Amino acid sequence: MSAQATVIPSGHEFFVEGAESILEAGLRGGLALNYGCSNGNCGLCKIRVVSGETRKIKHHDYALTEAEKGIGYMLGCCNTAISDVVLEADEAQSSKDIPTQNIPIRIKKIDHPAADVLIVSTRTPRTSRLRFLAGQRATLSIDQVGSGFYPIASCPCDDMNLQFHIGLDKQDPVANYLDESAKANDLLTLEGPVGSFVLNENSSNPLVFIAEGIGFASIKGLIEHAMALDVAEKIFLFWIADSDDSHYLNNLCRAWNDALDNFEYIPLDAEAGEHPGDSILEQLQQDDPAGFDYYLCSGDKIRAGVEKFFDSQAIPKKQVMFETL
């Protein structure tokens, strides 16, 4: 059974499947709902049921007051929906609404998709998940080794399974330790999230993502979040890299391209002089470039070139988000 949930005042909608909690379903749907422990202890996931029926699925220690219960409040992490519901809930509007968290996370696995890139898959404790917005970063620390600041390359809709893409750099002790010595189940400390390179959820414009090399890490989180929200009519991904090996998740991007009607993946070869600006114009064809929102994560040289393109097309500044590698 699935029930439709509509959130006010945002108007966001999502489906609650079976007996999953309203909080889980909302996060899976890409909403930045307010929450903390996911376990009935903190009360941060308090939501008011405006209409429809919910059912308690988990005991909770947090006690709602009689006044709160009287006007329909319940805990999103401990209740499911048994009919279509309208819910009044807080959602993060920007990175300022997300508190800094300190969380011990465990390594699940480390992959080497290219000679100079590691993909570190980690897991948070069930009761201490990371609340973040797609595109943000976090500091990872390892006892006796040091700390590094890395993009979170996954979607907030899966807040227990966090992925990091880390470039191998001799000056980065954390990257070297992860490459040479770390193993599954090792403990890291995460502090974050930080950063404002996040989706503008108030816009329903089609989206253009541009990544250079490992800048794909932040872009991947944003794309997965945009897919979860399912509001963009079209999504283009331009990934510029030195050689085929540097498009280190080429297969994932091709799979998105093949599976989704509204998704186009265009890998660009920097060595062959392929430039995002020319390619964007070619791909958008009859569409007006000024009707898109743009998210770019690159080094300064690519950024300068893309900025010229934006100026030439009179792209409004509010439709462009940059993150520097």
Under the rule (CB under 6 A), what is the footprint of ligand FES?
35-38, 40-45, 62, 75, 77
Minimum CB–partner distance for residue 156 and ligand FES (Å): 14
**Tokens at residue 12, please?**
């966001």
43 vs 267 by CB, closer to ligand FES: 43
DSSP secondary structure string for all residues of 206-260: -EEEEEEGGGHHHHHHHHHHHHHHT--S-EEEEEEESSGGGSTTHHHHHHHHHH-
Smallest gap, in angstroms, from Cβ of residue 61 to ligand FES?
A: 8
Question: For ligand FES, which is the closer residue by CB, 10 or 41?
Answer: 41
What the block records as the tokens of 4 is: 């439709």
The Cα–Cα gap between 11 and 13 comes to 6
Q: Which long-range contacts (CB under 8 A, 24 or more apart) does 123-126 make?
A: 123/160, 123/161, 123/162, 124/159, 124/160, 124/162, 124/190, 126/38, 126/39, 126/160
For 96, the token pair is: 């300022």
What tokens were used for 239? 């990934």
Q: State in Å, rounded, how far the first CA of the chain is from the last one.
A: 44
Q: How far is the CB of 115 from ligand FES (least distance, A)?
A: 42
Which residue number, 47 or 315, has a Cβ lying nearer to ligand FES?
47
Q: In terms of CB distance, is 75 or 107 closer to ligand FES?
A: 75
Q: State in angstroms the smallest separation of the CB of 152 from ligand FES.
A: 20
Q: Which is nearer to ligand FES, 90 or 179 (CB)?
A: 90
**Beta strand 187-194 with 263-269: parallel, antiparallel or unpaired?**
unpaired
Of residues 125 and 291, the one with the C-beta less far from ligand FES: 125
Q: How far is the CB of 38 from ligand FES (least distance, A)?
A: 5
| Half-sphere exposure at residue 81, Cβ-oriented, CA atoms within 13 angstroms | 28
Residue whose CB is less far from ligand FES, 43 or 135: 43
φ and ψ at 309, to 5 degrees?
A: -60, -45
- Shortest reach from residue 98's CB to ligand FES, in Å: 14
- Give me the least distance between CB of 74 and ligand FES, in Å please: 10
Helix (H) or strand (E) holding 178: helix 173-180
Helix, strand or coil, per DSSP, at residue 179: helix
In the bound complex, what is the minimum distance in angstroms from residue 37's beta carbon to ligand FES? 4
Nearer to ligand FES by Cβ, of 21 and 246: the residue is 21
Query: In a 3-state reduction of DSSP, which class is residue 316?
Result: coil
